[in-house]
């Protein structure tokens, strides 16, 4: 008997900046650059499909501040 499943899309559940931040932080903690790249794509897709979900998201050309502790955590795992 075949198991019927439906596609699951994280972008349907990333509803606000807090949810996006939690998702991104969880992925960063896994220290997997391929997963991080996919998560960034998910976030971009969310912002394209639901522009109201993150009204203060950076626009093209805007400067983006980075968090040094997070960047350091990623770099530590790369060696």
pLDDT per position as a tens digit, 25-77:
999 999 999 999 999 999 999 999 877 654 555 555 555 554 444 554 555 55
Is the pLDDT confidence value at 79 over 50?
no
2-25 pLDDT per residue, tens: 999 999 999 999 999 999 999 999
User: What pTM value is reported for the model?
Assistant: 0.59
Please list, in sequence order, all residues whose beta carbon lies within 8 angstroms of the beta carbon of residue 45, skipping any fewer than 6 positions away: 11
Domain boundaries, the chain: 16-52
Residue 78 or 42, more confident: 42
pLDDT of residue 77: 58
DSSP state, residue 27: H
């Amino acid at each position: 008997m075949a198991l019927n499943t439906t596609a699951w899309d994280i972008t349907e559940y990333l509803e606000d900046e807090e949810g996006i931040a939690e998702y991104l932080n969880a992925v960063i903690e896994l220290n997997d650059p391929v997963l991080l790249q996919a998560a960034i794509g998910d976030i971009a897709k969310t912002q394209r499909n639901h522009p109201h979900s993150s009204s203060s998201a950076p626009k093209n050309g805007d400067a983006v501040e980075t968090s040094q502790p997070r960047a350091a955590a990623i770099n530590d795992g790369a060696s």
